[in-house]
Amino acid sequence: MKSAYEDLLKAHSLSLTSVRLAVLEALGRQPHADAATIFESVQSRITTASKQAIYNNLNTLVEHGLIREIKPKGQPSLYETRIGDNHHHIVCRSCSHIVDANCHGDMPCLSPVDAHGFSIDEAEVIFWGLCPSCRKNQK
Ligand SMILES: [Zn+2]
Ligand SMILES: [Zn+2]
């Protein structure tokens, strides 16, 4: 069966390997997963997949812009297949739950007071707070 990810890899002239495809599929099912989670998910289907192969594939896919890497402070990098819309993230300080937050529309949706002559096309924002279930537990 041919998947949309195969076309995506072809469009970026990336070779199609079963591990690479499995990484993309795992991320499609579990957005904002870290490398360890993706490794588990891929290994459950391809038992020979090594941790190093997963890391290498994640790096290659980030470099080619097929996936996005999010680096919340103090946490392992998270990856997602939702790219190109410059959306932001809200992370729970307590349990690390992460959700997407849409950008206001224009890219970037935030502009500095002074751009110092730069042409700016992206603003990376992470909102921090407490998620609904952690707020409930606090009371
Ligand atoms: Zn929480
Ligand atoms: Zn996201």
Q: Count of domains in the chain?
A: 2
User: Reading across the β-sheet that carries 78-80, which strands appear in turn?
Assistant: 33-34, 78-80, 68-70
> Could you list which residues have their CB under 5 Å from ion ligand 1?
92, 94-95, 97, 131, 134
What is the span of the domain harbouring residue 36? 4-78
Residue whose pair of structure tokens reads 């739950």 in the numeric block: 97
CATH of the domain at 96: 3.30.1490.190
Amino acid at 127: F
Domain boundary among 78, 106, 122: 78
CATH of the domain at 10: 1.10.10.10
For 29-79, how does the pLDDT look when each residue is reduced to its tens digit (9 = 90+)?
999 999 999 999 999 999 999 999 999 999 999 999 999 999 999 999 999
Cα–Cα distance between 132 and 80 in angstroms, integer? 23
**Structure token digits, residue 59:** 């790096």
Domain boundary among 78, 95, 120: 78
Ligand nearest to the Cα of 87, by number: 2
Q: Summarize the confidence of residues 17-31 as an average pLDDT.
A: 95
Ligand nearest to the Cα of 96, by number: 1
Q: Is residue 74 located within the same domain as residue 89?
A: no
Q: Which pLDDT belongs to residue 108?
A: 78
How far does the centroid of ligand 1 lie from the alpha carbon of residue 134, in Å? 4
Q: Is residue 18 located within the same domain as residue 47?
A: yes
Q: Is residue 41 located within the same domain as residue 70?
A: yes
